[in-house]
Structure 1
Amino acid sequence: MEVTDRIASLEQRVQMQEDDIQLLKSALADVVRRLNITEEQQAMQNKKGPTKARPLVQTLPLRTTVNNGTVLPKKPSGSLPSPSGSRKETVSPAAKSTIKRTSSAERVSPGGRRESYGDSKGSRNRTGSTSSSSSGKKNSESKPKEPMFSAEEGYVKMFLRGRPVTMYMPKEQVESYNLEAKVELPAKRLKLEWVYGYRGRDCRSNLYLLPTGETVYFIASVVVLFNVEEQLQRHYTGHNDDVKCLAVHPDRITIATGQVAGTSKDGKQLPPHVRVWDSVTLNTLHVIGMGFFDRAVTCIAFSKSNGGSSLCSVDDSNDHVLSVWDWQKEEKLADVKCSNEAVFAADFHPTDTNIIVTCGKSHLYFWTLEGNSLVKKQGLFEKQEKPKFVLCVTFSENGDTITGDSSGNILIWGKGTNRISHAVQGAHEGGIFALCMLRDGTLVSGGGKDRKLISWNGNYQKLHKTEIPEQFGPIRTVAEGKGDVVLIGTTRNFVLQGTLSGDFFPITQGHTDELWGLAVHSSKPQFFTCGHDKHITLWDATTHRPIWNKIVEDPAQSSGFHPSASVVAVGTLTGRWFVFDTETKDLVTVHTDGNEQLSVMRYSP
């Protein structure tokens, strides 16, 4: 055992040294990026003529667009955020199915790399898997509904995710309007300035701190790189539909993200896939799994001990297929049916490249990669009561596997075995949604029902305990920040920052259900949103923070400011509409018009 322990200790030291080297590399890459931005800014200023000197922190991040991403500053003037130009499509429920194509179709990405949408090195050839789609023919024949124009009623009706959206036009345009007429696109293009929100309600392990000081997470089809100290955002916009998972390479520069099935500009279905990209340049490096994954990619992880050359993933098919890839060659090494039930996490063992651990509903599996196959060993709970859900997994410094489950227990599985070596019974009241091993060997667990963040020493003795306020919701994921800072993502779509011994405050927040209502203030850098989560919020576009938030009785669908902006009207799904004072957020009046949803709320100018 002494020899084994010494080898494990040496492996840890080598890994720490490699991490330090990669940290220096990433820091150098960030310096080069900032220098390039400064040079570009100086060149632009020289063209425009002399300007007043500004502090470096304001002048550094120019609004510079790069491949599959944007680099944009917080504007001192507080101009309103513009819609994302990258999110050009929306996926219908029918789009979330398997795509099978016999002929190869290709397109060229913004970065200039060729992407195959048909048969490729990672084409669908599953081992013992069952397709979740009804038929390839049905998929190929499904078409989005065409827009409709009613001259009598004076509206155009389009379909968004299969749902009709009616837009009434000015009366003077009704007679001359032609639905078939093609209009040239505007010469100017929108640039993504700021993204509000975080997806924590139904996604896990999607929050990390990069060596550049940026917090990386995703919402909708955009991956956000947010520098909290400088209040700057950059965006990776290479995906064409919702991102569902994220992993950071051991070099802490390369990132992989997986998405759901998407839709092209002409309504054709695009398969789910994984994109591997550079977090400094925002360039796409590789696209993996076109035509292989089903519905969505829900779990993803890089290997650790072999320099991160392998990547594992789990899709959202009926069989939740686990696959292993050589991501640099874009080649699939092995795949296997993982489980008929939901899979919540998949990760490589930190010291054994051939070991992958998956967990989910009613299962914990230890997989061994042997050639082109994956061999499964089931975790044996023995005397321990088997939980309904194994919710999360991480690893200790000595290579033990640590799991958190729906019974509130933390279980430690001995390195190289599938048996429990230690158990922390009742660590939390209710499920443990997140586990994070800090650099100093401290284990941090995050509870769902109890909303508690607890730290544990190497002997699994409790060190600190803090409770997250109820308004933020249950803890979904935990990540290590800078110094003693801890980052938390919650199921109510908050990203919190704080310390184990102190308080936590939100750095990002958004709605938790469909967002349909948006109104812009006529004179101030403010805007108003309302959604099906029954939350209505007035935002400051300068600070990117809410001015006030209020909960209404019904799911909200639409909103509109009075011309004076002193009040704002909110329409709901039930036919009721409210008017609120924008200064005090007090309810001014409430009315009911029928029982149908109110899609548009506008004041006469």
Structure 2
Amino acid sequence: MKNRAKEAQYNVDEGIVKMYLRGRPINMYVPSDIRETYNPSGPSNSPPAKLKLEWVYGYRGRDCRNNVYQLPTGEIVYFVAAVVVLYNVEDQMQRHYLGHTDDIKCLAVHPNKLLIATGQTAGHDRRDARPHIRVWDSVSLNTLHVIGISDIERSVSCLAFSKADGGSLLVAVDEAPDHNMSVWDWSRGERGYKLLETKCSADQVLAVEFSPVDRSTIITCGKNHISFWNCDNGMLAKRMGIFENRERPKYVTSISFTDTGNVISGDSNGNLLIWQRGGNTVYKMVRGAHEGPIFSILVQKDGGIITGGKDGRIIEWDRDLERTGNVIELPEQYGSPRVVTSGRGSQLVVGTTRNCLLGGTFTFPMRPVMQGHTEELWALTPHPGHHQFLTAGYDRTCYLWDTMARTIVWSKDIGEHIQSAAFSNSGEIVIIGTTSGKWLVMDAETREMYSQHQDGNEPIQVLKFSPNGQYLAVGSRDNNIYVYQVSEDCRKYTRVGRCQGHSSFVTHLDWSVDSQFLQSNSGDYELLFWNAGLCRQIVQTSQMRDIEWATSTCTLTFATLGIWPEGADGTDINTCAKANKTELLATGDDFGKIKLFASPACHQKARCLEYGGHSSHVTSVGFLHDDSRMISTGGRDTAIMQWIVSPSSNSSSSQR
């Protein structure tokens, strides 16, 4: 339980407001023009704009399976972070289901192809984000049922609707230690009705499926097992798959059914096995169908079979598991096929282990439909003049995105974990900061590397060009800010000096409008000021009360006092940014939330609008140059979200 925060205190005589974080006082100087009338607990304005989620870049394939489907609407449905995306590739349109509060881990489509079930993990807030299943309508996006809210312990890892009876049942597997499996009459009441529950396996469960021909048959598979369940008279009877004298795999990685009710399984040894309907023994085996694990088995309407494996290959088989000769080799940059599903006509849609969605056929090459980052994401910098932005993260890759075409303009592998990035004021140069203290100067169009520099050996947390373009400030995790003189069209950098004085790592910094001063925050909640040209700390901070700042990315300043919730511990808010032309301030926090405030947010308990979608700490927010859109990045959820910014017509204080 967090300590109740002390109210901010205002000393009118000195013009100092004192706020507390983790019991630590932080002094902030109130600007002269409001010094007489200021009250920290006074009323605050509503934000002058609102957000609408327009586009989500990314897909979760690295650790989730069976999570891409083609709907009759022509949309493909998949998820990333806490958002389910319904993406019409031909029309370049996305719709979003935003009912979840934390990481979505699995997805199932009802036999009627209209209803969808999605399952989530437990979130940060056990009251607000308990693990559960949501059944919703893919046309209206209305939530119909919320299931298992007090039954599921850790996370819904696998889901499937029944098929033989038209989809009246739903089976779910919990990621808790016993991997409990529950069967639900999902449509009974708002919360469904649990018919059965049993311990499924002590080991990881990777997939669950109902038989398409036998209403009472359920198959599960995973580490060290494939299990055949019979669901009868309120009981679940289990028979383990018997491999007899065949090699027993460490993992059974995928399952599917033929139209006659036989089970096909793929395993970590690369073998395909057919198990006869109603039995638990192997009827046929294809050794070495793939080199290594088989992640996906697709049985097509004509009985043909398509498999995808860790070896990067997609292979077509006839109904007797004889190879047809059709093979697709995925380029290594996209990863291995994690899920292969039928698209329109003869099209295949493939989700990969490197968080890509691909579309194509055995005759037309696979092309990316959606690409995303694969590891923690920290760097975001909007282009100063175009509708573009750059992101980069621990997957060592920079992407330049176009917000209008909603595509990647280019990507570049830097070869190192990336922590930060910044465009020059012209947008022609981009600086990339790494976790090793190295920063690189790169042409934003050709991707040519002009130079590289080293400041300490800790991560470069923040990079900022001065408004006049003559200086670059480099904030490091080694507690220092390094200031460079910029020349030759931002291609040459000469170190001016080092700002020393922080007792913890630098987290944020802003330049003054006249390019003379810096303000900076650190990991121990300091707000310090610097004469940039001399690299000297300004100890008389009262002198800085009326300085106008070019940006507002420091989270601890007078202008951002109101973004801190009651009881905040200082690490809650990771990022903030002021719009370029409007009095609007956005923040991203540790709980996956984006909040909008009126700027300056200088009153405690400032009014805000709140938006969900990310399922991890929001690492960065930023507005495009014309404020038409805002971009947010989620750390471990690897998602990038593009929000339309529109004038707010109402002043309601919360939105989901």
TM-score (norm 2): 0.65
Hey, what does 2:103 align to over in structure 1? 242
Secondary structure of 2:439's partner?
strand
What's the CA shift for 1:157?
Answer: 11
Which residues in structure 2 correspond to 1:466-485 (within 5 Å)? 466-485=328-347
**Counterpart pick for 2:60 among 199, 209, 212:** 199
Which residues in structure 2 correspond to 1:138-537 (within 5 Å)? 141=1, 143=2, 183-263=44-124, 268=127, 270-329=129-188, 330-448=192-310, 450-463=311-324, 464-537=326-399
Contact 1:240 1:263 in 2 (8 A): no
What's the CA shift for 1:171?
Answer: 11
Gaps of 5+ in 1: 1-140, 160-166
What's the CA shift for 1:188?
Answer: 2.9
Hey, what does 1:5 align to over in structure 2? none
Secondary structure of 1:600's partner?
strand
User: What CA distance in whole angstroms lies between the structure 2 residues aligned with 1:473 and 1:144?
Assistant: 46
What's the CA shift for 1:279?
Answer: 0.3
User: What CA distance in whole angstroms lies between the structure 1 residues aligned with 2:29 and 2:433?
Assistant: 21
Contact 2:299 2:306 in 1 (8 A): yes
User: What CA distance in whole angstroms lies between the structure 1 residues aligned with 2:438 and 2:30?
Assistant: 27
Aligned CA distance change for structure 1 residues 179 and 158 (closer, same or farther; 3 Å): farther
Contact 2:132 2:152 in 1 (8 A): yes
Contact 2:72 2:113 in 1 (8 A): yes
Contact 1:537 1:547 in 2 (8 A): yes
Hey, what does 1:110 align to over in structure 2? none
Contact 1:261 1:269 in 2 (8 A): no
What's the CA shift for 1:268?
Answer: 4.8
What's the CA shift for 1:502?
Answer: 2.8
Considering fraction of residues, name the structure with more helix: 1
User: What CA distance in whole angstroms lies between the structure 1 residues aligned with 2:39 and 2:459?
Assistant: 28
Aligned CA distance change for structure 1 residues 171 and 346 (closer, same or farther; 3 Å): farther
Hey, what does 1:553 align to over in structure 2? 415
User: 331-340 or 551-560, which moves further after superposition?
Assistant: 551-560
What's the CA shift for 1:155?
Answer: 13
Q: Larger RCO: Structure 1 or Structure 2 (Cα < 8 Å, ≥ 6 residues apart)?
A: 2
User: What CA distance in whole angstroms lies between the structure 2 residues aligned with 1:210 and 1:156?
Assistant: 52
Contact 2:213 2:260 in 1 (8 A): no
Of structures 1 and 2, the larger Rg is shown by 2
Counterpart residue identity of residue 461, structure 1? E
Hey, what does 2:459 align to over in structure 1? 597
What's the CA shift for 1:555?
Answer: 1.1
User: What CA distance in whole angstroms lies between the structure 2 residues aligned with 1:563 and 1:157?
Assistant: 36
Gaps of 5+ in 2: 11-16, 468-656
Hey, what does 1:56 align to over in structure 2? none
Contact 1:536 1:551 in 2 (8 A): yes
Contact 1:259 1:273 in 2 (8 A): yes
What's the CA shift for 1:400?
Answer: 0.3
Contact 2:102 2:129 in 1 (8 A): no
Which residues in structure 2 correspond to 1:576-591 (within 5 Å)? 576-591=438-453
User: What CA distance in whole angstroms lies between the structure 1 residues aligned with 2:95 and 2:262?
Assistant: 36
Hey, what does 1:22 align to over in structure 2? none
Counterpart residue identity of residue 524, structure 1? H
Hey, what does 1:80 align to over in structure 2? none
User: What CA distance in whole angstroms lies between the structure 2 residues aligned with 1:423 and 1:147?
Assistant: 69
User: What CA distance in whole angstroms lies between the structure 2 residues aligned with 1:445 and 1:509?
Assistant: 22
Q: CA offsets per residue over residues 150-176 of structure 1, 9 Å max, x none? A: x9xx999999xxxxxxx9x99979x98
Q: CA offsets per residue over residues 257-306 of structure 1, 9 Å max, x none? A: 00111245xx8553110000000000000000001112211100000011
What's the CA shift for 1:471?
Answer: 1.1
Counterpart residue identity of residue 182, structure 2? S
Q: CA RMSD in A?
A: 2.9
Hey, what does 1:18 align to over in structure 2? none
Secondary structure of 1:195's partner?
strand
Aligned CA distance change for structure 1 residues 551 and 431 (closer, same or farther; 3 Å): same
User: What CA distance in whole angstroms lies between the structure 2 residues aligned with 1:210 and 1:564?
Assistant: 44
Number of residues of Structure 1 aligned to a counterpart in Structure 2: 452
Secondary structure of 1:191's partner?
strand
Which residues in structure 2 correspond to 1:101-120 (within 5 Å)? none
Aligned CA distance change for structure 1 residues 145 and 201 (closer, same or farther; 3 Å): farther
Secondary structure of 1:471's partner?
helix
Aligned CA distance change for structure 1 residues 144 and 562 (closer, same or farther; 3 Å): farther
User: What CA distance in whole angstroms lies between the structure 2 residues aligned with 1:294 and 1:443?
Assistant: 36
Aligned CA distance change for structure 1 residues 575 and 391 (closer, same or farther; 3 Å): same
User: What CA distance in whole angstroms lies between the structure 1 residues aligned with 2:46 and 2:209?
Assistant: 45
Aligned CA distance change for structure 1 residues 597 and 390 (closer, same or farther; 3 Å): same
Counterpart residue identity of residue 188, structure 1? A
Aligned CA distance change for structure 1 residues 299 and 283 (closer, same or farther; 3 Å): same
Secondary structure of 2:116's partner?
strand
What's the CA shift for 1:373?
Answer: 2.5
**Counterpart pick for 1:570 among 428, 432, 453:** 432
User: What CA distance in whole angstroms lies between the structure 1 residues aligned with 2:209 and 2:435?
Assistant: 42
Q: CA offsets per residue over residues 305-346 of structure 1, 9 Å max, x none? A: 111010001111111111110110101111111112111101
Q: CA offsets per residue over residues 551-587 of structure 1, 9 Å max, x none? A: 1232112211111111111222222222211011112
Hey, what does 1:89 align to over in structure 2? none
TM-score (norm 1): 0.70
Secondary structure of 2:53's partner?
coil
Hey, what does 1:55 align to over in structure 2? none
Contact 1:406 1:430 in 2 (8 A): yes
Considering fraction of residues, name the structure with more strand: 2
User: What CA distance in whole angstroms lies between the structure 2 residues aligned with 1:170 and 1:453?
Assistant: 63
What's the CA shift for 1:185?
Answer: 4.1
Secondary structure of 1:276's partner?
strand
